[in-house]
Chains A and B, each alone.
Chain A
Amino acid sequence: MTGAARAAAPLVQLAGLAHSIAGKPVMAIGDWQQTSGDHALVLGPSGSGKTTLINAITGLITPSSGSVHIDGEPMSALPASARDALRRRTIGLVFQTLRLIPALSVRQNLALAQHIAHGKHDAAAIESLIARVGLAHRIDARPRTLSQGEGQRAAIARALITRPRLVVADEPTSALDDANALAMIDLLFETAAATGATLLVATHDTRIQSRFATVLTLRSPARAAA
């Protein structure tokens, strides 16, 4: 693939995407695409298939029909190890439950992510990113001693330390109060801008809808079929 073609390819491209489990449809999207730099929101009620979509985009599951291309590469058609490699290169993840490793400090959590992605250690990058999310004073703290907000900052920093082109966040705000939910989105936007990442946020949280220009609305495929 040439540089020009690559630049032209959408960051995320879904074609005829649908997924069923045991014959029961759990996600039906069809065609959709997201261009680089265009932060998008996947909005839908509980059970509408948001997590299933994210799993398909990140290559954790193989959709039962349709395809997923990430940055021009066919995620859904690659063998498992190639998916791991593609995900490692292009995608950063922010989990709803943060999933920071409790045995490691914030700094070490970032260092491990860096090691996994690039096999190298860049202490300066870790420190500057942690400072950017406002956690410099907690850099050597253990995750379980962090407040919810601090933990989220750490989780965002970890997703971005590998400099991914796409940052996928599943329900990053649903457990937060209004003020914190908006602060979280602000932080995501700010750090994404700083590292040149594009956001894909899945949520049922309509409070943050107004912040996104691009919204993919999901309806429960089961109900849609009924």
Chain B
Amino acid sequence: MTFFGLSFAYLRDRGLNTVLNIALLALAVATLVILLLFARQLETRFDRDAQGIDLVVGAKGSPLQLILSSIYQADVPTGNIPLSSVEVLRENPSVSKVIPLAQGDNFRGYRIVGTEPAYPEHYGATLAEGRLWAKTAEVVIGADVANALGMALGQRFVGSHGMSDDAAAQGHDHAPFIVTGILKPSGSVVDRLILTSIESVWDVHGIAHGDEDDHDHDGDGKPDHAPGEHDHGDEDHDHEDHDHDSDGKQDHAAGEHDHGDEDHDHEAGGQKLDPEVTALLVSYGSPLAAVQLPGFINRQTNLQAAVPAVEITRLLQLVGLGLDAVRALAVLLMLTAGLSIFVALYTALRQREGDMAMLRVIGASRASIFGQMIFEGVALAAAGAILGVLLGHGVIALAAANFRQLTELGLDAAHFEVGEVWIVAGALAIGALAALLPAVRVFRADIADTLTNSR
């Protein structure tokens, strides 16, 4: 029986109190860990995905929504813009890179994005297997998609309309995609995407919308932003608006302006239509662009230009205020736990002053008695801290498993942050501090007096 053993024996002896204090501290630590992981992973995700993208051009609407939908693939697009705007921007000498995105469909919740090879390249995503898309209907899938859905090269699948997996969403049965490539994990948004050519996305909608029976519009009230869908106002999700166009066609096929054109062919007739995309990711070639371009686009065109850095800062400020409030509460909870441990140890000490004096009399040094008390506080705190870290990660795992949006935001329960070490260290310090006063009391006590005055 050592002094460590004695500490554990005392903790066990007042089991309920010990459990309560551990639980209290664990809750505080878990809250702080969740906040830390959430804030840090959100930030990392935001930074990583927005890297190198100076401007996003899309349809008018909320700039934050435009950024979220185009860079983070986490909201519905603001609408569609003419493909011709790509050329307009590319001709601008202060622009170094323009990557068009055509969104509108998903497969089991993973977004299908029509784009150019420059997009995966921008995120440093290279092929693990297969090759990039070459023809329409060929897709390259992100590492997470391949993992989660167990997809392999050559697999065919059919996308569903809309941004998220939804049983009510209609499938484009007759336009299957085929997987020609799988990307290596890049730690970016691309991991969770299915990439194809812009033409593929148009094609799917063009063909899909040529069939009346099939394209019974969801009527689920969900925004529906397939490229080419011109009237993407709130009202257009009304069943009746969509369902029975006189010509038997839906009006949201890509580039499909002319409803009388029964047999439009994208590959051949793409030019005469006015093809559309949902957003353009723009990188500046010169610092001048930052000054001129956003203002020009917002004022002179009916497009919208949003600066990711500005919008993310705005968002993080909003989220940050909430996080700060929760963080303050968690710190308060931690201090409460510390106080509770202090009260527990202090009360326990009063009951065992006699024990301690006796141990001193039979030869225990002051240091070992002092250490025993401190260790008791630290052991309690360590149990709370470890439990709290596990609880925090557990809660995040549970949340990520149940709320897809969190996974999309890049929340990963298996990821540990350096900051967690500090949280644990803080908890241990609180445990030691709570034990300090009682320990000092024992350290200073006159054993002869204590022995006479205690039982």
Question: Does A pair with B?
Answer: yes
**Cβ contacts under 8 Å, B452 to chain A:** 51
**Cβ contacts under 8 Å, A113 to chain B:** 362
B1 in contact with A103 (CB, 8 Å): no
**Cβ contacts under 8 Å, B12 to chain A:** 103
Q: List the one stretch of A26-34, A65-73, A93-101 in contact with chain B.
A: A93-101
**Cβ contacts under 8 Å, B361 to chain A:** 58, 60, 87, 93
Check A88/B447 contact, CB under 8 A, given A51-B452, A112-B1, A115-B1. no
Q: How far is the CA of A87 from the CA of B360 in the complex (A)?
A: 10
Q: How far is the CA of A88 from the CA of B359 in the complex (A)?
A: 10
**Cβ contacts under 8 Å, A97 to chain B:** 354, 455
B6 in contact with A99 (CB, 8 Å): no
A61 in contact with B1 (CB, 8 Å): no
Residues of chain B in range 340-372 having any CB-CB distance to chain A below 8 Å: 352, 354-355, 358-365, 368
Tell whether A15 is near chain B: CB-to-CB under 8 Å: no
**Cβ contacts under 8 Å, B365 to chain A:** 81, 84
B363 in contact with A111 (CB, 8 Å): no
B354 in contact with A99 (CB, 8 Å): yes
Residues of chain A in range 76-120 having any CB-CB distance to chain B below 8 Å: 81, 84-85, 87-88, 92-93, 95, 97, 99, 101-104, 108-109, 111-117
- Nearest CB of chain B from residue A156's CB, rounded to whole Å: 13
User: Looking at the complex, which one of A88, A92, A104 makes contact with B9 (CB distance below 8 Å)?
Assistant: A104
- Complex: chain B residue closest to A126, CB-CB: B1
Q: How far is the CA of A87 from the CA of B368 in the complex (A)?
A: 16
Which interface residue of B360, B365, B451 has the most chain A CB atoms within 10 A? B451
Q: How far is the CA of A99 from the CA of B455 in the complex (A)?
A: 7
B6 in contact with A112 (CB, 8 Å): yes
**Cβ contacts under 8 Å, B1 to chain A:** 104, 108-109, 111-112, 114-115, 121
Residues of chain B in range 1-17 having any CB-CB distance to chain A below 8 Å: 1-3, 5-6, 9-10, 12-13
A117 in contact with B358 (CB, 8 Å): no
User: Looking at the complex, which one of A108, A116, A121, A158 makes contact with B363 (CB distance below 8 Å)?
Assistant: A116
**Cβ contacts under 8 Å, A81 to chain B:** 365
The B interface is mostly helix, strand or loop, or mixed, namely helix
**Cβ contacts under 8 Å, B363 to chain A:** 84-85, 87-88, 116-117, 162
**Cβ contacts under 8 Å, B359 to chain A:** 101, 112, 116
Residues of chain A in range 98-149 having any CB-CB distance to chain B below 8 Å: 99, 101-104, 108-109, 111-117, 121
- Complex: chain B residue closest to A113, CB-CB: B362
Q: How far is the CA of A113 from the CA of B362 in the complex (A)?
A: 7
- Nearest CB of chain A from residue B379's CB, rounded to whole Å: 14
User: Looking at the complex, which one of A55, A58, A104, A121 makes contact with B6 (CB distance below 8 Å)?
Assistant: A104
Q: How far is the CA of A190 from the CA of B338 in the complex (A)?
A: 50
Q: Residues 44-70 of chain A: 1 if any B CB is under 8 Å from the residue's CB, otherwise 0?
A: 000000010001001011000000000
**Cβ contacts under 8 Å, A162 to chain B:** 362-363
- Nearest CB of chain B from residue A28's CB, rounded to whole Å: 18
- Nearest CB of chain B from residue A165's CB, rounded to whole Å: 14
User: Looking at the complex, which one of B3, B13, B451 makes contact with A103 (CB distance below 8 Å)?
Assistant: B13
**Cβ contacts under 8 Å, A99 to chain B:** 354-355, 358
Q: How far is the CA of A162 from the CA of B363 in the complex (A)?
A: 11
Q: How far is the CA of A156 from the CA of B91 in the complex (A)?
A: 98
Check A60/B362 contact, CB under 8 A, given A108-B1, A108-B9, A112-B1. no
Tell whether B328 is near chain A: CB-to-CB under 8 Å: no
B362 in contact with A116 (CB, 8 Å): yes
Q: How far is the CA of A112 from the CA of B362 in the complex (A)?
A: 10
**Cβ contacts under 8 Å, B6 to chain A:** 101, 103-104, 112
Tell whether B315 is near chain A: CB-to-CB under 8 Å: no
Q: How far is the CA of A116 from the CA of B3 in the complex (A)?
A: 9
**Cβ contacts under 8 Å, B425 to chain A:** none
B362 in contact with A88 (CB, 8 Å): yes
User: Looking at the complex, which one of A60, A115, A158 makes contact with B447 (CB distance below 8 Å)?
Assistant: A60
Tell whether B448 is near chain A: CB-to-CB under 8 Å: yes
- Complex: chain A residue closest to B7, CB-CB: A103
Q: How far is the CA of A104 from the CA of B355 in the complex (A)?
A: 11
Q: How far is the CA of A113 from the CA of B361 in the complex (A)?
A: 11
- Complex: chain B residue closest to A161, CB-CB: B362
**Cβ contacts under 8 Å, B358 to chain A:** 93, 95, 99, 101
Q: Residues 55-92 of chain B: 1 if any A CB is under 8 Å from the residue's CB, otherwise 0?
A: 00000000000000000000000000000000000000
**Cβ contacts under 8 Å, B5 to chain A:** 108, 112
Q: How far is the CA of A15 from the CA of B6 in the complex (A)?
A: 39
**Cβ contacts under 8 Å, B364 to chain A:** 116
Residues of A within 8 A of B (CB): 51, 55, 58, 60-61, 81, 84-85, 87-88, 92-93, 95, 97, 99, 101-104, 108-109, 111-117, 121, 158, 162
Which 7 pairs from chain A and chain B are nearest by CB?
A88-B363, A111-B1, A103-B13, A112-B1, A60-B448, A99-B358, A103-B9
Name 10 interchain pairs, CB-CB below 8 A, sorted by A.
A87-B361, A97-B455, A101-B9, A103-B6, A103-B10, A104-B6, A112-B6, A116-B363, A121-B1, A162-B362
Add 20 more A-B contacts to A108-B5, A116-B364, A117-B362 (CB < 8 A). A84-B363, A87-B363, A88-B362, A93-B362, A95-B358, A97-B354, A97-B455, A99-B358, A101-B352, A103-B9, A108-B1, A112-B2, A112-B5, A112-B359, A115-B1, A115-B3, A116-B359, A116-B363, A117-B363, A162-B363
